[in-house]
């Protein structure tokens, strides 16, 4: 009976050692699998990031001209004086007299530049001035338009508008 007891003890001990080895190997396998998954995720994130960067570079290159055109449509803060000079050249071109009030930076939903001016001259010259002004590459929003026949063929008008495509962030350059 002693030998049966000894052999049972040996089998039991080998079984426990075998199960311990299987548990140890299972844990080691799980740790290795987690490391492989983490490495794969890092590799995927890195390669995906590189792909995204390449796509972004491609989009920036392809849209360079379009972005430049959009930037031209915005009156920058440091372009205010050339803009006023543009209005003065329209005054000379159309033969009207313009009295420009001081432009004001307007707040609201979107930043804008508020401009008010008084024009005097023949009706067709005033109309041509406003037409040419409308063809400037900026988004204009008329606030007030008032025409008056002064005498004979001389008209005058008080006009107020906002340059909606105004970006004053570059004014401090």
Q: Which of 74, 162, 83, 168 is nearest to 115 (CA)?
A: 162
Q: How many CB atoms lie within 10 A of CB 42?
A: 10
Q: pLDDT per position in the chain (173 positions), as tens? A: 455 677 888 888 888 888 888 888 889 989 988 898 888 888 888 888 788 888 888 888 888 787 666 666 566 666 778 888 889 999 999 999 999 998 887 766 677 788 899 999 999 999 999 999 888 888 888 899 999 998 888 999 999 988 887 666 544 43
Expressed in angstroms, the distance from the first to the final Cα of the chain is 101
0.75 exceeded by pTM = no
Q: What are the tokens at 105?
A: 């930076």
Rg (CA), the chain: 39
């Amino acid at each position: 009976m002693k030998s049966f007891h000894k052999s049972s003890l040996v089998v039991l001990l080998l079984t426990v050692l075998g199960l311990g080895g299987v548990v140890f190997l299972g844990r080691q396998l799980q740790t290795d699998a987690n490391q492989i998954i983490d490495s794969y995720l890092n590799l995927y994130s890195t390669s995906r990031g590189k792909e995204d960067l390449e796509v972004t570079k491609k989009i920036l290159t392809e849209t360079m001209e379009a972005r430049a055109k959009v930037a031209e449509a915005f009156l920058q803060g440091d372009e205010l004086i050339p803009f006023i000079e543009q209005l003065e050249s329209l005054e000379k071109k159309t033969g009207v007299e313009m009295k420009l009030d001081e432009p004001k930076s307007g707040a609201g939903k979107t930043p804008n530049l508020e401009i008010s001016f008084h024009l005097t001259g023949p009706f067709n010259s005033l109309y041509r001035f406003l037409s040419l002004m409308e063809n400037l590459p900026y988004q204009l929003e008329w606030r007030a338009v008032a025409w008056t026949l002064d005498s004979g063929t001389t008209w005058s008008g008080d006009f107020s508008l906002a340059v909606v495509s105004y970006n004053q962030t570059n004014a401090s350059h």
